[in-house]
């Protein structure tokens, strides 16, 4: 007779977690959308066959993930939250920062992720940029040339990359690339190496900006790939 350690069983989740998981599934599937009001506690108690305290604990669990929020008053209740892009970006930054150096997530992985995201972003930027994006690119390049010191210049370098990604006009790219950039800056940037590379970075950015302005997607992507490859020496390995 096999021992208990060999039984292929799964632990039963607490009742509140099962309720929270099902409600979360409805939100992720789109059955419950941002702004929708959840049924009353009494209705949920009846539907799930659990106690009122279990339902409340489930709602607290969802609220802790910013999936739902509660409003008071006559028109109050519990509503599905509208997730903001900045909130997602900050959450990813925190998660990447905590994972970096652990769980197999190192500087090499983050640099590769940047290349995977920003090279096609440069191509899309050349095809989709608006006049406003071109103005922002020129402004970023002018500020790069005017700034002194590694920290100030790096801030403008980061701004340039932000504008390129924004010009691609794909919100997903902006949400994911910015956290990677911030963690690399906070944890792996080598100030001395950055100072040595300043002139080269400015020159690369000018060329990338010119390709984007000319609408040459292939050239913008090629220049961005070369630029990010050269930047590898700026970060600690």
- Shared-domain flag, residues 124 and 27: no
Question: Which of 65-79, 115-129, 221-235 is predicted most confidently?
Answer: 115-129
pLDDT for 25 equals 94
Number of domains observed in the structure of the chain: 2
Answer yes or no: do 107 and 198 share one domain.
Answer: yes
Query: What are the Cα distances from residue 208, in Å, to 4, 31, 118, 127, 131?
Result: 62, 43, 12, 13, 16
When pLDDT is cut at 50, 70 and 90, the band that residue 1 belongs to is: very low
Q: pLDDT tens digits for 81-122?
A: 988 888 888 888 888 888 887 767 888 899 999 999 999 999
CB 59 within 8 A of CB 45: no
- 3-state DSSP assignment of residue 68: strand
Q: Which of 80, 110, 143 is the last residue of a domain?
A: 80
CATH number of domain containing 35 = 1.10.10.10
Same domain, 72 and 92: no
Rounded average pLDDT over 125-139: 96
Are residues 130 and 226 located together in one domain of the fold? yes
- Its domain, for residue 9, covers 4-80
Domain boundary among 40, 56, 80: 80
Residue 92 near residue 99 (C-beta atoms within 8 A)? no
Does residue 204 sit in the same domain as residue 223?
Answer: yes
153 and 119 part of one domain:
yes
State mean pLDDT over 194-214: 85
What tokens does 74 get? 């006559």
Residue 159: count other Cβ atoms within 10 Å of its Cβ.
17
One domain, residues 29 and 109: no
d(CA 205, CA 207) in angstroms, rounded, equals 5
pLDDT level of residue 77 (50, 70, 90 thresholds): very high
56 and 127 inside one domain: no
Which CATH number fits the domain that encloses residue 131? Answer: 1.20.120.530
Buried b (16+ CB within 10 A) or exposed e, 76-99: eebbbbeeeeeebbeebbeebeee
The pLDDT, as a whole number, for residue 103 is 66
Q: 39, 54, 80 — which closes off a domain?
A: 80
Same domain, 148 and 217: yes
Q: What is the pLDDT of residue 11?
A: 73
Express as a percent the part of the chain with pLDDT over 70. Answer: 88
What values do phi and psi take at 105, rounded to 5?
A: -100, 105
The mean predicted confidence, pLDDT, of the chain is: 88
- DSSP for 88-131 reads HHHHHHHHHHHHBTBTTB-HHHHHHHHHHHHHHHHHHHHHH--H
Asked if 160 and 140 count as a contact pair (C-beta separation under 8 A), the reply is yes
> What confidence category does residue 206 fall into, taking pLDDT thresholds of 50, 70 and 90?
very high
Report which listed range, 4-13, 20-29, 190-199, is most confident.
20-29
Strand partners, 2: none
pLDDT at 145 over 80: no
pLDDT digits (tens, 9 = 90+) for 174-193: 999 999 988 888 888 776 65
Average pLDDT over residues 30-46: 94
């Amino acid at each position: 007779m096999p021992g208990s350690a060999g039984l292929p069983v799964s632990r039963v989740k607490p009742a509140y977690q099962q309720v929270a998981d099902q409600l979360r599934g409805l939100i992720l599937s789109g059955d419950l959308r941002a702004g929708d009001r959840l049924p009353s506690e009494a209705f949920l108690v009846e539907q799930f066959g659990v106690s009122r305290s279990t339902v409340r604990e489930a709602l607290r669990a969802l609220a802790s993930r910013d999936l739902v929020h509660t409003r008071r008053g006559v028109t109050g209740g519990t509503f599905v939250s509208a997730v903001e892009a900045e909130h997602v970006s900050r959450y990813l930054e925190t998660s990447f920062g905590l994972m970096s150096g652990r769980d197999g997530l190192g500087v090499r992985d983050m640099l590769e992720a940047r290349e995977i995201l920003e090279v096609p972003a440069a191509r899309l930027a050349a095809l989709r940029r608006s006049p406003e994006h071109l103005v922002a690119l020129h402004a970023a390049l002018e500020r790069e040339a005017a700034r002194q010191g590694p920290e100030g210049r790096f801030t403008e370098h980061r701004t340039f990359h932000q504008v390129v990604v924004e010009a691609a006009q794909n919100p997903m790219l902006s949400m994911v690339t910015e956290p990677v950039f911030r963690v690399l800056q906070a944890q792996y940037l080598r100030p001395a190496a950055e100072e040595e590379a300043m002139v080269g970075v400015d020159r690369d950015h000018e060329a990338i900006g010119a390709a984007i302005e000319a609408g040459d997607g292939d050239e913008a992507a090629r220049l961005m790939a070369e630029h990010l490859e050269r930047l590898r020496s700026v970060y600690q390995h």
